[in-house]
Amino acid sequence: MRFRIALLLLFSLSLIACKDEDDTANGYTATPLELEIPPLFAEKILPPVIPEDNPQSVEGVALGRKLFFDKRLSADNTLACAGCHRPANAFTDPRQFSVGIDGLAGTRNSMPLFNMAWNYGGLFFWDGRATSLENQALAPVVDPIEMHNTWSNVAQTLQVDGEYPGMFEDAFGTQTIDSVLVTKAIAQFLRTLISGNSKFDRYLAGTENLTPSELNGLNVFLDENRGDCFHCHGNPNNPLWTDNIFHNNGLDETFTDRGRGEVTGDPREFGLFKTPSLRNLAFSAPYMHDGRFETLDEVIDHYSEGLVYSETIDPLMKKVSEGGVHLTPEDKADLKAFLLSLSDESFINNPDFQNPN
């Protein structure tokens, strides 16, 4: 009996000894929550990235979800994160440019939010300027053309609320609310936004067939002679459908928005933007960093005959002097059918991802 206790003590000591840092106040630990990893992801790619100092918990995710949909994060209580990241639109904004609380529009299209725990490089935004989800969530709250608030005001508002202090206590073991804990909770919720049940996923799992048009579309996508999309947007062995790195895909001759190059200062990266995932395109129009294309047909026409030269254009963009490889109308239609097979109804309708407030 006595050495059972001694053993237990030592065992718990060993746990503590092996842990790098103690991240919760007073050693408090919320209820751990595993991400629901789609079988195909588990089989094909590396595990998701979860920072050691922000483990997923039931209480943290519930709190993050509430915050994501809460308009009180903005200065005038009118705009939540979800205002520009709508569940029905795969968590992006159907408007070309979102409008902030002061009626000012930005210059970039909002981004769909899913499978972000598998962004191994950990660079967020079109230009990769945020280096983690926690760090990303700091920005919109204080952005003058978005929620135009201050973090101290957010903390105060939430602190006097009837529910929030208790929820922070449950999630992090403290009632004291600050930007660090708010962004941690939101990041936890964002990591649960997982999309892995499209028609194409079910085709790979052997439970559904593709139409001949969708199958030919996949071939166009993979064929170096035709679409050659896979070198940036992935292939059936990579269910993310993006490389999460930065390219210039031939949209402009000169840049009003320098994209990645604005962040790094490297002229070789002027006009480069992060490759978006091709999942959920059925819901996420308009397309590209500035939302210039309203339809997938316009996107495909761009790659087929609308490419324009600029110094940093990616070498994978072919026959640029002729605008592209000029796909046949049939190949274009099939490519579009294939792209749409990557959309996941169950993702946008997932009850766990809707407004809890």
Partner 1 sequence: MRKIALMFAASLLMIGCNNDDDTTQPIPESTVDFTFTHNWDGNMIDNTDFDLLQYFNANGEQMSISKLVYLISDVTFVSLSTGEIFDAGDYNLIDVRQGTNLSFTPDIEIPEGEYLVSFTFGFDDEDNQDGIYQDLNSADGGWNVPMMLGGGYHYMRLEGKFIDNTTTEMNYAYHAIRANNASTTPITLQDTSFVVDLGQITIGSSTSIEIKMNVAEWFKNPNQWDLNVLNTVLMPNFDAQIMMYENGSTWSNSTGVFSKGTVTQ
Residue of 122, 318, 323, 333 interacting with partner 1 (CB under 8 A): 318
Tokens representing residue 138 in the block: 């700091």
Does residue number 141 form part of the binding site for ligand HEC (CB under 6 A)?
Answer: yes
Residue choice 86, 314, 320, 350 for contact with ligand HEC (CB under 6 A): 314
Q: Which is nearer to partner 1, 18 or 160 (CB)?
A: 18
- Distance in angstroms (rounded) separating the CA atoms of residues 107 and 290: 6
216 binds ligand HEC (CB under 6 A): no
- The neighbouring-strand residues paired with 130 are 124
Q: Give the single-character DSSP code of 244.
A: -
User: Measured between alpha carbons, how far is 245 from 323 in angstroms, rounded to an integer?
Assistant: 23
Find out whether 166 and 63 touch, Cβ atoms under 8 Å: no
For residue 167, the minimal CB distance to ligand HEC (Å) is 16
Find which of ligand HEC, partner 1, none residue 281 binds, CB within 5 to 8 Å per kind.
ligand HEC
Report the length, in residues, of the chain. 357
Sites for partner 1 among residues 242-271 (CB under 8 A): 242-245, 268
Does 164 sit near ligand HEC (CB under 6 A)?
no
Residue of 57, 89, 98, 188 interacting with ligand HEC (CB under 6 A): 98
Distance CA(74)–CA(154), nearest Å, equals 8
Indicate which single residue of 61, 111, 177, 317 sits in contact with partner 1 (rule: CB under 8 A).
317
Which partner from the list ligand HEC, partner 1, none does 234 bind, CB cut-off 5 to 8 Å by kind?
partner 1
Residue 224 contact partner, candidates ligand HEC, partner 1, none, CB within 5 to 8 A by sort of partner: partner 1
Give buried/exposed letters for 315-336 (b at 16+ CB in 10 A, else e). eebeeeeebbbebeeebbbbbb
13 binds partner 1 (CB under 8 A): yes
Decide whether 145 or 205 has the Cβ nearer to ligand HEC: 145
Maximum Cα interatomic distance, the chain, rounded to a whole number of Å: 82
Q: What is the DSSP letter of 274?
A: E
Closest to 59 in 3D by CA, of 190, 188, 177, 191: 188
44 binds partner 1 (CB under 8 A): yes
With CB under 6 A as the contact rule, the residue among 231, 263, 306, 333 that binds ligand HEC is: 231
The span from the CA of 312 to the CA of 257, in Å, is 13
Residue of 258, 278, 274, 257 lying closest to 266 (CA atoms):
258
Residue 27 sits at φ, ψ, to 5 deg, of: 65, 15
* Contacted entry of partner 1, ligand HEC, none for residue 225, CB cut-off 5 to 8 Å set by kind: partner 1
Selected from 61, 75, 147, 177, the binder of ligand HEC by CB under 6 A is 147
Residues 271 and 312: their CA atoms lie apart, in Å, by 7
Contact call for residue 307 and ligand HEC (CB under 6 A): no
Q: Which of 51, 94, 122, 236 binds partner 1 (CB under 8 A)?
A: 236
Of positions 35, 45, 139, 333, contacts partner 1 by CB under 8 A: 45
With CB under 6 A as the rule, give the number of residues binding ligand HEC.
52
Site string for ligand HEC, 104-123 (x = CB under 6 A): --x-x-xx-x--x-------
Binding status of residue 30 toward ligand HEC by CB under 6 A: no
CB 60 within 8 A of CB 172: yes
DSSP SS3 for 247:
strand
Q: Indicate whether 219 belongs to the interface with partner 1 (CB under 8 A).
A: yes
Which residues are CB-contacts of 96 (< 8 A; sequence separation ≥ 6)?
Answer: 109, 286, 290, 291, 292
Nearer to partner 1, 97 or 124 (CB): 124
Nearer residue to partner 1 within complex by CB, 11 or 28: 11
Is the CB of residue 341 less than 8 Å from the CB of residue 210? yes
For the chain, report the end-to-end CA distance as a whole number of angstroms.
50
What are the residues binding partner 1 (CB under 8 A)? Answer: 2-3, 6-7, 10-11, 13-14, 17-18, 44-46, 118, 120, 219, 222-225, 228, 230-238, 240, 242-245, 268, 275, 309, 312-318, 320-321
